[in-house]
Amino acid sequence: MFKVGEATITRVEETYVGSYPLRDVFKDFTDAHMAEHGHWLAPHHYIAETGQIRLAVHSWLLQIDGKKILIDSCCGNNKVKPGRPFWHMLNEPYLERLAAAGAKPDEIDLVMCTHLHHDHVGWNTRQKDGKWVPTFPNARYVFSKPDVDYFAKVDADPKEGPAELGTFRECVVPILEYGKADLVDGGPYRLNDFIEIDSAPGHSPGHVFFKLASKGEQGVFIGDVWHHLLQVYYPDWNFPKNSDAAQARVSRRKVLDHCAASSALVFPGHVGLPFAGRVEKTAQGFKPDFPS
């Protein structure tokens, strides 16, 4: 559990396993980089035996002012994930872990998705009587309107759809149809007294990040602005899947600047143990302070 002022933030794990080969993801990674960074990469961010990066998939449960807010909702169980064996047909006790963290599904007040990729919307819905219904029946869901518009267009294209391995239809459209979604245009947009939404497009067209402020302390939920701590050292290194690679680099530097200037506690979507930390500005650029 982490604290930011009066807020408590608890990580709700879905998976934490090896995924993509490091040198496939970051083509510029060399033996010299391994010599420089190898001492901290393994075992929490890299699996030396397989050469894979280790990615976490988790939600953040934010509790503040009597509200229970879920940030990003992972992959979901029993989802077909072509080309992603580490997320294919999962059977994880995610809802039990959420309850252990302090919230049953009907206690969630707000679900906030940084973007609408398949590994951030999976638990938005569940199947009941052959239909996809909201997993969190009493919650409002916050989605980025540019992402909704983009993936709706992809989903309707017979050559491109279904969007996001089918999860747009399963995990986003039902929320819209049930009238539970609030669409935001990226911002900066003040959601309430303690959360501000700001834009960080590039990984997806409408990717956003969430700034938390409480009692003079700050946090920031960055989603996939960066997937791995190597990208803090090397902000120009993109993860392969981006809607606009150049814009993703611009957004990453924007968010890194904010994190360093504010001394915010940073909550990424996929970074390994200790899962949250801070970013420091250096003469060369940035470096992470995620002590394990």
Q: Using one digit for the tens of pLDDT, what is the confidence trace for 212-252?
A: 999 999 999 999 999 999 999 999 999 989 999 999 999 99
For the segment 168-182, the average pLDDT, to the nearest whole number, is: 97
Backbone angles phi, psi at 231, to 5 degrees: -75, -15
Q: CATH: 3.60.15.10, 3.40.47.10, 2.70.98.60, 3.40.930.10. Which one for 2-289?
A: 3.60.15.10
For the segment 146-171, the average pLDDT, to the nearest whole number, is: 95
**Token code pair at residue 68:** 């229970």
Model pLDDT, residue 152: 97
pLDDT tens-digit profile of 28-79? 999 999 999 999 999 999 999 999 999 999 999 999 999 999 999 999 999 9
pLDDT tens-digit profile of 241-257? 999 999 999 999 999 99
Lowest mean pLDDT across 12-21, 48-57, 80-89: 80-89
Where in the chain are the domains? Answer: 2-289
For the segment 187-214, the average pLDDT, to the nearest whole number, is: 96
Are β-strands 208-214 and 195-199 bridged in parallel, bridged antiparallel, or unpaired? antiparallel
Q: Which amino acid is at 51?
A: G
Model pLDDT, residue 64: 97
Distance CA 181, CA 173 (A): 10
Contact 180, 204 (CB under 8 A): no
- When the pLDDT of each residue in the chain is averaged and rounded to a whole number, the result is 96
Model pLDDT, residue 292: 72
Model pLDDT, residue 225: 98
